[in-house]
A and B are shown apart, each in its own frame.
Chain A
Amino acid sequence: MDFGFTEEQRMVQEMAKSFAEKEIAPYVEQDEENHYYRREILSKMGEMGLLGWSMPEEYGGNGMGWMEAVTALYEIAKVHTSWRLSISGNCWGPAMTILEYGTDEQKKKFIPPLLSGEAVGSFAMTEANSGSDVGSMKMFAEDKGSHYVLNGSKMWISGGHTSDIGLVYVCTEEGGGPKGLSCFIIDYNNTEGIERIPINKKVGMWSAPTSELVFENAQVPKENLLGPVNKGFPICMWMLNNTRMGCATGAAALSAAALEGSVAYANERTQFGQPIGKFQLVQAQIAEMKLEDDAALQLVYRAAWLKQNKMPSQQQTSMAKLYSCKAAVNAANIAMKVYGSYGYSDEYPCGRWLRDAKQFETLEGTSNIHTTIVAGIELGYQPNR
């Protein structure tokens, strides 16, 4: 067993940290305030190879795998949680799923721009009345011979109105259900009949766009069907098992950011004639954050290691996501207490940590869903895939 980094992983960590400090950190405050998505950061990530994880070099992949990917994502998310979505949105969501299930033409057409950052990616399952119960979605694609016609709407789609290429899961059988869903690749810039509405009022993730998508007789060519018709549900589950690593890693990074901030503040803030870190009650808070943060990160790395080695990882991914999300919310909550009144002001990032931490308990499988996955696999009700 080896807990150390390889030489490449060390360099990836150093590079991602420097990238986040140089290209993301200077804009965090102003972009949060303006709820602004700084598109050029994604382009720069693409240029640096930060979007091409576990992908072949012929499509623009960077030749590195899951361990390096979570290492990089962790450093980026520590600086600004909103940017943790970029790797899921471009690489682990659409690009990796197209690589697994797509035709040669689909791979050649859609993967390179997603990995280079030329295109913004997204994926869409959730509807107004269909969240955890993915199979209950209603949006429908009708087979018209040469093409499909899509009608219906999607809600809470990360990057929905900013993306160029996205996967959309819809019913292709009357009544839908897990055996009646299919996955389509949508070329948003060249498809008529899609209205994309930004959702501007949300608790956190202010620099990461969220959208409602309304499809009205949107024509999608047959060659954009990903995988066989009516096999969208297993494709979706396969994809989520990858993209959830973005949540797990992003949450672990947020808890680390809250911990690092709290440690610095506890050493600097003086009360009763000494730094507040000298008080045992504050020490208990720091220790709790440290323990949970470290445990979260180890779970993230273990799940990444399983994926890197192509071993079953669904349970470990859910454990990583479930625990990291708890750690993130708890760390953000404790940070607010350590910082005291200053934590409640905009001067310090405690408010952002707390706002952003809450997303993790809902996105890409609620904590309840992940609890049932962990237990279901443990009890033998479902295999670990």
Chain B
Amino acid sequence: MKKIQKTLAMLLLVVLMISACGGAENEATVVEVPADIFKVAVVMPSAINDLAFSQSMYDALLAIQADTGADSFEIVYSEGMFIVDDAAAAIRDYASQGFDLVIAHGSQYGSSLQEIAPDFLETSFAWGTTVDTFGLPNIFAYEARAEEGGYVNGVMATMLSESAVIGVVGPIETGDAKLYVDGFAVGAAATDAGTEVNTNWIGSFSDVALASEAAQTHIGAGADVLTGTAQMVVGAIGAAEENGALWFGTQSSQSSLAPSIVVANQVYRWEVVLEDMIDLIHGGTYGGQSFEITLANGGLVIEFNGDYALPADVQSAADATIAGIIDGSISVFP
């Protein structure tokens, strides 16, 4: 009897584990496809609809697919790969299945990729945000010059803040999050040196509750305009909306979440660099180069929320700042 019970327990656990895999769209079985289909696999730390980092990459792949047609561009993804070991297993799995390009979308996946890529020299890998290809011939690196949009948002935020206190909610002081936050602070200081920009690094990319609390802390400290980066900011946007503070987004458009308070978003358009990578792969180059998205190359776009009535002077200041960064007359980090 005890043996039967233990077997049943094991079976139940297996079923539970299998169900647990349901969330991650890890489509390990790939059907036979004609050779002219370009196959891309992407491993992402959060959900494809996180309104932030992961969604920016997923939307870019969909944009390429819309251009080239689903018949010639296949996308497979594993989302929610916040455990690096799981992500590494998925990356190796995709590489061994013969994908043309395997994207490890997260700087935390770098060391895994460095280990895996040399075993699959016929597969091209891309990872970001970084500039480091580890000197390997089959790794591309990509980066967002997030400080550019950060600067533009900082200019607008400072002009809109009546209290002259602005709050920033960041995850961990690294990568494009740090670039964005630093650029934002420089843009704010260039507009009005007297405006206080308070930054809160909450130490997590996923702690929505703490992000919300960080936003409330900023509001308690007098902030009437907030910004933030990474997927946990949905909590901060909620807190901003509840307290009537304005919000500036980055990575993806966050306007749909709180149309009345989101002023503008810096949107990442990774397709600009992905298309270059795909061309290189077709030409036989599998890596060894790094790319960046900028306002100048159209990889970064400032998207204004149509539901928010932006004052004309702020709009023209934003337009002038964007033009200045593109033509080089404004240097974010001189």
Judge: A and B partners, yes or no: no
